[in-house]
Each structure stands twice: as C-alpha cells, then as structure tokens.
Structure 1
Amino acid sequence: MGKGKDRPADPSAGSGAALLIIDMISNMDFRHADEIAAPAEAAARRIKALRAAATRAGLPVIYVNDNFGHWGMEWPRLVEMCEASGETAATLVRLLRPRKADLFIIKPMHSGFYATNLQALLPRLGVSRLILTGMATELCVLFTAADAHMRDYSLWTPADCVASSTADGGEFALRLLRRHMGVEVRPTAERGLEDWLESSASS
C-alpha cells in the first residue's frame, strides 16, 4: 500500500467515506477488452475528476486491483507492466496513475473484499461509506458492491465512473445495485461528491 505526506494524518476523523478504484490499472489482456476499451477511457476521465474532488475533501483513495497472476510483483512494478501493455492500458495508467498518498490493494478474484485486507483497512480508516468506480460494472464492481452491501456500507456507484463491455450488461448491473441493494447510481454529471457526502451522512 502506498502512503504519502499529503494523506490526512487521521483519516478516521474525516468524512467516513472512501473512494475505491477497481481494476482500472489493467493490461487489457482479457476477453472483451476491445469492447470495453472506449468505455473504460471515458470512465477513467470521470474517475480522475472524482479522485481530485475526493482528495480535496480529505477522503482516502484506494485502488483495488487484479495482479494478473503476478503474485510476487510489487504494485509499482505492476503499474509499469500495465503501462507497457498497449495503447489503451497506457492511457488508463496515464489518467489514473496511483499517487504516493493513495492506497493499493491486490485482489485475487472479482470482489475487492475476497481474500484481501480491505475489510480490515476500512474500519481502521473510519469508513462507513464507499464510492465504487472502475470496471467491469457487471463483474468486479458488482461483486464488490454486493460484498460491501452485506457489510452495511452506504454506497454510491456513479454511472459515468464505471465501464462495461456492453451497454446492456452495464445498465442491468446498475439496475440490480439500485433496486436490490439501495445503491446510489446517479452519475457525477448529475450529483457532486459534496452533495452525496452530505446526504449519505444523514441517511
């Protein structure tokens, strides 16, 4: 996990929320990578803006990422490997390269909670609310959201900060999140971070 001097000294004293960026550091070497490339780049630009807003608000930013089978590789080297993996992968790294203040967690399966230290980290940061972003909406974002919902986190998955290989698949996953888990899915174009933080704090 990365750590830097611009991280708040006591995150638990902050807003109680965190931004998760799921699988956006990618080698783009998987099935349907070509189909998800353009949506992923569009989402990355929105996530970058949301990340900046989260940092201004004092929220921790946590990358939850696949390691593509490289179990002995440290995350900075993983980022370098992805950056060298092709045009789309390099664009995603350029837009969302982890900063010194950000945290980075490796996950072995779809959910960010499965066999990771995320569920131990979040209480240490005083987090009870999560903003979930990344790809793919119908896989890793959905599985992470389901596990977070079962752990009673308040959730926002902005529709313009996630990416799917098909529009239908992404929309179906967002409907599941909204209808069955009570997840806020309005895009950042319609709802700002400050507004969500204020409303979710009182819910």
Structure 2
Amino acid sequence: MRRKSGRPALLIVDMLNMLDFDAGDALLKQAMPAAAKIASLKRRFKNAGAPVIYANDNFGQWHADFTEIVKICSGEGSRGAPIARKLLPEPDDFYILKPKQSAFHSTPLAVLLEHCGSRKVVITGISTDVCVAATAIDAHMRDLTVHVLADCVAAPTRARTVRALGMLHESIGSSLAASRSIRP
C-alpha cells in the first residue's frame, strides 16, 4: 500500500559531471536546455522550503568529497563546466555521492528522504536512460511517488530520452510532467 506523499524532494542526478566520455559532447548539447529548467525549478523548491538533493556520481574518486567533485566538474577543462556552474550547490542543499547508477544503491538517500519528510521525488538529470531511470525505478520500489520531468532530463540523443521516458511511464507509472506544472 502506498503511503501518502508528503513534501516533495527535488533530486538532481549527475548534473555535476565532467562529461569526459565519447558521448560527452552530444550529452552536453542535450543537457543544456534541461539545466536551465532545473535551475528555475530549484529556485522554486528553495523558495517553498522544499528539499533539494544532489545525487551525484563519485566517478570512482573514492577519496574525494562532494566539494571536490563540484570543483572538478565546474573547473576549467571540464566539458560539463557550463552545466555545473549553472547548477552549483548552495550550502543548504543536500547531497549524496553514489557509486553506481541508482541514487539509492549503497547511499543514504532513503534515510535522507525520510528525514526530509518526502514521500514524493521529482527526478531531474542525466542520463535519462541510465542513472535517471535506475533512480526512478528504485524510488518506485520504495513506494515513493515518482515524477520524472520530461524537460529536465537528457541523454546523448533525444530518441534515447523519449524511449526511457516512455518506459518509465508504462512500467512504473511515472508522471512525465513538465517542470512548470510541478508544485513544490
């Protein structure tokens, strides 16, 4: 039985990223419009006092902390710097570093959501067909209400995003709302 959704939490998945892989240029092109929408949505969540949580890959940097990851991804020489700079975390934002695709796998995210009183997650980020999808499926398995925002996610191609969004809607019933329709 699903519990009632409380305060929604905004999850920003892997938007702090060096994009230092073969499809990095393609993903940057697809993710820039999503980053602008996420920045606007983040402001709305913060103004409403709703939690904002960065769920970010640790890129195998087991000795790095979140601050170091932010610095690396937003620094000179990082292909993903334009996105990272647009979405820089603020001191009152929450964060978790994830070792695998899902933001729930081997992280304290479920405990953090409980602490925040959140039974609804609004998922944004990259890549729609990998980390976003894995996180959405894991959220669903935890009986959370899941919204994956169609205008706040990206994959290296638009076709991959469309396929992943369709799968999430059909398989777990994820809402695919646009960011403007979400109320923090």
The residue that corresponds to 1:116 in the other structure is: 107
**C-alpha distance in 1, partners of 2:22/2:137?**
23
Unaligned runs of 5+ in 1: 1-14, 198-203
Amino acid of the residue matched to residue 72 of structure 1?
H
Partner-residue secondary structure (3-state), 1:18? strand
Q: Among residues 60, 76, 82, which one is paired with 1:69 in the alignment?
A: 60
SS at match of 2:44: helix
Asked whether the equivalents of residues 134 and 161 of structure 1 are also in contact (C-alpha less than 8 Å), the reply is yes
- State the match for 1:175 in structure 2: 166
- One-letter amino acid of the structure 2 residue matched with residue 188 of structure 1: S
CA deviation after TM superposition for structure 1 residue 68, in Å: 1.0
Contact 1:22–1:64 (CA under 8 A) maintained in structure 2:
yes
Structure 2 unaligned residues grouped into runs of 5+ = 1-5
Q: Is the 8 A contact 2:20 2:78 kept in 1?
A: no
Aligned residue for 1:186?
Answer: 177
CA-atom RMSD in angstroms: 1.5
Q: Which of these residues, 92, 105, 111, is aligned with residue 101 of structure 1?
A: 92
Normalising by the residue count of structure 2, what TM-score does the alignment of the two structures yield?
Answer: 0.93
Whole-angstrom distance in 2 between the partners of 1:148 and 1:87: 30
Q: What is the number of equivalent residue pairs in this alignment?
A: 180
The residue identity in structure 2 corresponding to 1:132 is I
Amino acid in the other structure paired with 1:111: S
Report the alpha carbon displacement of residue 178 of structure 1 after superposing the two structures with TM. Answer: 1.0
From the two aligned structures, give the one with the greater strand fraction. Answer: 2
Checking the alignment, whether the CA contact within 8 Å between 2:150 and 2:177 is kept in structure 1 is yes
Q: Secondary structure at the match of 1:43?
A: helix
The residue identity in structure 2 corresponding to 1:163 is A
1:39 maps to 2:19: no
1:185 maps to amino acid: L
Equivalent position to 1:146, from 130, 137, 144: 137
Task: Please name the residue that 2:11 is paired with.
Answer: 20
1:164-190 deviation line (CA, Å, top 9, x unaligned): 11111110110011111111112225x
Counterpart amino acid of residue 175 in structure 2: E
Structure 2 residue identity aligned to 1:129: K
TM-score by length of 1: 0.84
Deviation of 1:69 (Å) = 1.2
